[in-house]
Amino acid sequence: MLVRAFHDDPQFAWLMPSGTSRRARLRRFFGTLLRLEGFGVAEIDVVENAGGTAGAAVWFPPGGWPPPTMRQLRALPGYTRAFGRRVTAASILVSAAARVHPKTGYWYLACIGVEPATQGSGLGAALLRFRLGMCDALGSAAFLESSKPSNVPLYEHFGFVAGAPLSLPPGAPEITPMTRPPRPSSQLPDGRSGR
């Protein structure tokens, strides 16, 4: 499902320019993220419908990102196979993002995707509401990088504040880091009062 959700994402179109191999490369990327880097650390929220898994969000808890060095080294071959000749561009992107991550504990939304046929139906918002409600109950901040400028207003609706786009090479897509400060648990993620 994540492979289908991110097939046309600007970040992956830039890092995996061949449309014919992108599906297989995305499968390697998400397999590496979930099985090696995130396994036992990341929390995955899933929403299902009659057709099966319709959406998922992969969150790293406070202190979980970046993963320990040994875990990153185990994941490196998978990412290298996923990005192929574009592995240097992927490394530049990851380094640029790492420089703007918050300095204190936060939940990191590594990715959120919804089955293309169900995009716009509120499933992504439901996934955000669920985890952001937990962040509020714990008094935790949240962080993400939006790879689509059109998604920035959606994340702002949920309390994220946009930073300056990442400094990337010419031809790269605009990627916007966004931070959501801790909120009182009495306030719902969509801004309404819980009372």
Reading the block at residue 112, the tokens are 């959120």
* pLDDT tier, 121 (very low <50, low <70, confident <90, very high otherwise): confident
First to last CA, the chain: 36
Distance between CA atoms of residues 180 and 177, nearest Å: 10
pLDDT in tens, 133-152: 999 999 999 999 999 999 99
Q: For the chain, which residues make up each domain, given as ranges?
A: 2-180
Q: For the domain 2-180, what is the CATH superfamily, name and number?
A: Gcn5-related N-acetyltransferase (GNAT) (3.40.630.30)
CB atoms within 10 A of CB 181: 12
pLDDT in tens, 151-167: 999 999 999 999 999 99
Q: What is the pLDDT at residue 119? A: 86
User: Across all residues in the chain, what is the average pLDDT?
Assistant: 92
User: For residue 177, is pLDDT > 90?
Assistant: yes
- Measured at the CA of 107, the angle between CA 192 and CA 167, to 5 degrees, comes to 105
pLDDT in tens, 8-52: 999 999 999 998 999 999 999 999 999 999 998 999 999 998 878
* pLDDT tier, 195 (very low <50, low <70, confident <90, very high otherwise): very low
* pLDDT tier, 194 (very low <50, low <70, confident <90, very high otherwise): very low
User: For residue 117, is pLDDT > 50?
Assistant: yes
- What pTM was computed for the model? 0.91
- Which of these, 177, 60, 187, lies nearest to 136 by C-alpha position? 187
